[in-house]
Amino acid sequence: MTHHRMRWEERLWATGHRVTRQRSLILDAVCAGEGHTPLGEIYARVRRADRSIDRSTVYRALRLFVEVGLVVAADTGSGETSYEIKKPRPHHHLVCRGCGGEQEIGDDATAAMFDEVRRRHGFEIATDHLVLFGLCEACRCRAGP
Amino acid sequence: MTHHRMRWEERLWATGHRVTRQRSLILDAVCAGEGHTPLGEIYARVRRADRSIDRSTVYRALRLFVEVGLVVAADTGSGETSYEIKKPRPHHHLVCRGCGGEQEIGDDATAAMFDEVRRRHGFEIATDHLVLFGLCEACRCRAGP
DNA sequence: CCGCTTGTCGCAAAGATCGGCAGGAAGCGA
DNA sequence: TCGCTTCCTGCCGATCTTTGCGACAAGCGG
């Protein structure tokens, strides 16, 4: 399991929310696989553990987890939103429109940009997980200029 | 009207699509107001001009416009997607989670970041319109550290 | 351990977005 | 101008996501 029980329970508690069996199962489901998981798959995993949990509960729990910073959401343009347990170091995703492949990048590049926005516009960016679309090296060469 | 008739007709044409009355009305509706417009409002404007146009036609036309680069889409987290006619110079939006206010920023900051991503990962980012969430200066001072 | 308060859950229904299908029209060539 | 071909549209239903509501249970105080 990627998340530590104490950690997330305290986080919920500190933000004035309750720790429930459903939320525990849903967070387990987010961590069950590698990388980000589409909601449908998370729901399937949760149902495997407990048939009675409703879809809306999953949606609400995930929204809450994102709100309190336990999980990051990513709309990869596939029709359904994906979720991933938040890692200590923020990262972003590059999604290739040619082959559909994805790669993860660190937050070095964006950190500088966020700083500049803060200096020039006084705006503190909180978004810590971007999904950027474009063309990967292979597809770029294949397609030509 | 913000868009020039010739411009968009040629763009559709060049990408192998047809110029239709519906698409014309929908693009007019996108340009009718200031800044970006939520889909519901676009639909309302279109219906004011022609009762018979269907919602799915509006969705399909907007998706097409985005695809061929006539319009940019922005998910401002309000539940429905907003659209805006594409300006010659790309820009991004900062949405404050405190007051809900929005401001536009140029692409200077992101241009440097995109370059770095290309250099380091060989990935050419095509996304030209970001919506970044955070806290504006006023709300940041009000909330304190 | 018992009951209270209040946040949560399951359910149902609404809202937003997308996809299939058959009729209709844009744009081409004669 | 008249068809023809192909794409587009309107209609309907499917899918993804959110919301309102009454029942329920987490966490508190006794």
pLDDT tens-digit map of B9-49? 999 999 999 999 999 999 999 999 889 999 999 999 999 99
CATH code of B91-143, in short, is 3.30.1490.190
| Cβ of B55 near strand C (distance < 7 A) | yes
- pLDDT of amino acid B2: 44
pLDDT tens-digit map of A13-46? 999 999 999 999 999 999 998 889 999 999 999 9
Average pLDDT over residues B132-136: 95
Check if A113 contacts B (Cβ < 8 Å).
yes
B81: nearest Cα among B89, B72, B92, B90? B72
Q: Does the beta-carbon distance from B94 to A133 stay under 8 Å?
A: no
A5-85 and A91-143 share one fold: no
- pLDDT of amino acid A2: 44
A20: nearest Cα among A53, A45, A43, A44? A53
The β-bridge partners of A82 are A38, A74
| Cβ of B80 near strand C (distance < 7 A) | yes
Q: Where do the domains of chain A lie?
A: 5-85, 91-143
- pLDDT of amino acid B44: 98
Using the structure block, give the residue that is written with the tokens 């030209």.
B128
- pLDDT of amino acid B142: 83
The nucleotide closest to A20 (CA, C1' atoms): D26
Chosen CATH of B5-85 out of 3.40.50.720, 3.30.70.20, 1.10.10.10, 3.40.50.280: 1.10.10.10
Q: In what order do the strands lie in the sheet with A82-85?
A: A37-38, A82-85, A71-74
Q: Per-residue pLDDT for B4 more than 60?
A: no
Lowest mean pLDDT among A107-111, B45-49, B55-59: A107-111
Q: Does the beta-carbon distance from B122 to A103 stay under 8 Å?
A: no
- Using a CB-CB cut-off of 8 Å, the residues of chain A touching B122 are 136-137, 140
